[in-house]
Structure 1
């Protein structure tokens, strides 16, 4: 049996667990104090990071939001446990980013930043060294995904698209900590200073749309992904959990080959 850990037990975590055979994995979930979800067979819960570390999982997936990245990921890496970060927007905090990098180096553990709901990041990494590279990332979702945000602004997107935000990746990660991890994944690939982020509530959107437009001396490129929303959370693409599962499988394969980087 392989032991794996997950921070949180929301919609994404449940999808991750269900993607693996129940008789092959012992799951250890790190939950907040007082949480009491109904857990399936093969899944146990702890409430302190020390307990998760003591379980010695082969890897841990963070699926609980940016605050969880700051609270738990450095300790896991210091303990030599490879960690997959879903809430990559947390790395907009430069001191935290530095802490995580140092912790991974000190513990000899890999930090994995999956593509999440996106594609095309390899192209962005390729043009990152070009000084003239410029990228615009647009998140376009149906109004139901932004119901609270529209109400707070006194806006309606029943008939026409409404731009809720335009700014830098760091501003986007701060303004929408639960919803714009994809924007900061773009920033990490090409450089935050090269990226502009837009958020649009669009009644004509057929799903959670991610649009990337890039220009540089290497040429121009555009990527458009229309992802079905997660059944458990309409603000999150179903592809997000699939990406985390793929990253976890890749990480486990590397460990089996002796390439995982753990002490």
Structure 2
């Protein structure tokens, strides 16, 4: 298979997992040709690592998204934020680059989602949604295609990731509290960095306006626990996932990239 060119947008801890995978030989079908981050130094550090890796090669640290697009990569791995995805996705798709993204919250807006679909279709490009910290997209998609269904998404987390959000109250440092109840659109508006996974589950099933989301804060809780439930007349499925760290999200990007080029995809 012809080697695919890949660029990385967002050079933080999760994106570094893609570099680990490259170094371990887990991405043999890709050549990483460009990096971009809000902090140029981070992009340069990534590019230096890629150039020094036994499985790497020439890689350019870009000063702007336009510089990255000018490289015309086959794929762009977006591992930054919903705002970054919104800024990147339309010009990238028009440029001939497909997107692999973790920041699915950027597609919670129905009008923007339809624009992305239309742009990808017109330019024969695609947006690949990585599973992030959850799973079960296959059963969610299948049941929602089969018949009418309802979906709920319940998250448990500690107070720390909620401290800079509108729902924070000192009481959650010492008491268990449900801090949010609403739909996935409302959730991503309040928590743009904490509940991307709920939007992903919603887009795979009944839509962001229809998926009921709840967030419970537990004192001293480490990590995140997600429970996704879908119920129809014939099927009732529950998906429970606990992750101590966010590393699974970074590795889901690696898995998605491998599936794109694999002769057998999971």
- Normalising by the residue count of structure 1, what TM-score does the alignment of the two structures yield? 0.84
Aligned to 2:110: 94
Change (3 A) 1:97 1:132: closer
Q: Does 1:30 align with 2:36?
A: yes
Task: Give the match's secondary structure for 2:41.
Answer: coil
Counting only pairs closer than 5 Å after superposition, residues 235-250 of structure 1 correspond to structure 2 as: 237-250=246-259
Deviation digits for residues 65-102 of structure 1 (CA, Å, limit 9, x no counterpart): 11111111111111211111211111111222122112
- Post-superposition Cα deviations, 1:46-70, rounded to whole Å, max 9, x if no partner, equal 1223321222323111111111111
Match among 58, 64, 72 for residue 74 of structure 2 = 58
Q: Which one of 244, 257, 261 corresponds to residue 252 of structure 1? A: 261
Q: Which residue of 1 aligns with 2:202?
A: 187
- TM-superposed deviation, 1:204: 6.4
Instruction: Give the direction of change, closer, same or farther, for the CA distance of 1:80–1:61 in structure 2 (3 Å limit).
Output: same
Judge conservation of contact 2:179–2:216 (CA < 8 Å) in 1. Answer: yes
Q: CA contact under 8 A between 1:114 and 1:243: conserved in structure 2?
A: yes
TM-score (norm 2): 0.83
Give the alignment of 1:1-263 within 5 angstroms. Answer: 3-21=5-23, 25-32=31-38, 35-37=40-42, 38-39=45-46, 40-41=48-49, 42=51, 43-129=59-145, 132-149=148-165, 153-192=168-207, 193-203=209-219, 205=221, 207-229=223-245, 237-253=246-262
Q: Using the alignment, how far apart are the partners of 1:35 and 1:69 within structure 2?
A: 18
Matched pairs, number? 246
Structure 1 residues 194 and 96, CA, compared in 2 at 3 Å: closer, same or farther? Answer: closer
Cα pair 2:83 2:106 within 8 Å, conserved: yes
Describe the shift of the 1:64–1:206 C-alpha distance in structure 2 as closer, same or farther (beyond 3 A): closer
Unaligned runs of 5+ residues in structure 1 are 230-236, 258-263
CA distance in 2: counterparts of 1:86 and 1:240, whole angstroms: 7
Q: Displacement, 1:250?
A: 1.7
Change (3 A) 1:2 1:188: closer
Superposition CA RMSD, Å: 2.4
